[in-house]
Structure 1
């Protein structure tokens, strides 16, 4: 007799998101399939599509969640500490970070994604007031934001790729603080 599946799941949306994050963290985003995630959640192969529509919808939901988590992580910090928190976010949430960085995998105009992305960007822009050149109108705030984001994102991506040399006396946050020290002297 075939195994009977229960189609009543406590929180299928969360279960599928968590399973997808696990797959991305261990096998990469290319390994994500709704059918596999349904199997992992013990539901019909069509059930995840009811929540996300398709694979791109699922990845959009992951990116949306990631931007929200990032915005929360950046709250209340000065610009330098925001960079440290950005790096910590990437290291603590590598699957979110990967999907957030891959806009080709997302429904870029999804209203929830746009709102979450804008909230995270607004937090970063708020920290730019710490830069004297921005405060005094000597620097373009958009370019200053891009520079700050590039530094934190680049370091996080390099670290996740195993390209940052191991330093037994420093954790990634301390290494990033040292890097920003070169710029904020």
Structure 2
């Protein structure tokens, strides 16, 4: 008797299970290791079953990146008003996530902006991180060009410093020292 693929997955929500499995795989082995067959095999379904939920490997990677941005947003401090400690708290949380989840962070930063624009969950998750950045760093009226430029400069600094730290090109004895160094590099950009 032929197996009915639609009823063969008995653990519940295949889309969520596939995303969970893909997230774990990327976190452990990096985005290059992700394949639809690998995820499907781990779940006990055929890879064709996953295509009902994800158009292709890239769509599954977009979903993993969206979950990564949500996880990042969940650890970033939400501040109803900007305080003098907000930038430090933001940098500590951001760097902590990036260093604790290096493969997920690498995938998040590698997603193409055009793909982000067409993937609603990924777009919403990145906007959430941007909104938290705006709360922490201010820099002009909400949504202004000055604020946008300030956030881009700070995010570029942060992303670049994390990459250099991970590569061993920025040496710091602890994460706190690394964050202190990033604050020093940010200088007047965070003191406005």
Shorter-chain TM band:
0.7 to 0.9
The match for 1:156 among 162, 176, 182 is 162
TM-score by length of 1: 0.78
Q: Work out the CA distance in 1 between the residues paired with 2:153 and 2:114.
A: 24
The match for 1:116 among 103, 125, 128 is 125
1:72-151 maps to which residues of 2 (within 5 A)? 72-76=74-78, 78-104=86-112, 107-108=115-116, 109-129=118-138, 134=140, 140-151=146-157
Is there any run of 5+ residues in structure 1 with no aligned partner, and where?
none
TM-score by length of 2: 0.75
- Provide the alpha-carbon RMSD of the alignment: 2.7
Shift of 1:112: 1.7
Q: Work out the CA distance in 1 between the residues paired with 2:165 and 2:77.
A: 23
Which stretches of structure 1, 4 residues or more, deviate above 4 A after TM superposition? none
Is there any run of 5+ residues in structure 2 with no aligned partner, and where?
80-85
Shift of 1:147: 1.8
Number of paired residues?
172
- More displaced 10-residue stretch of structure 1: 100-109 or 59-68: 100-109
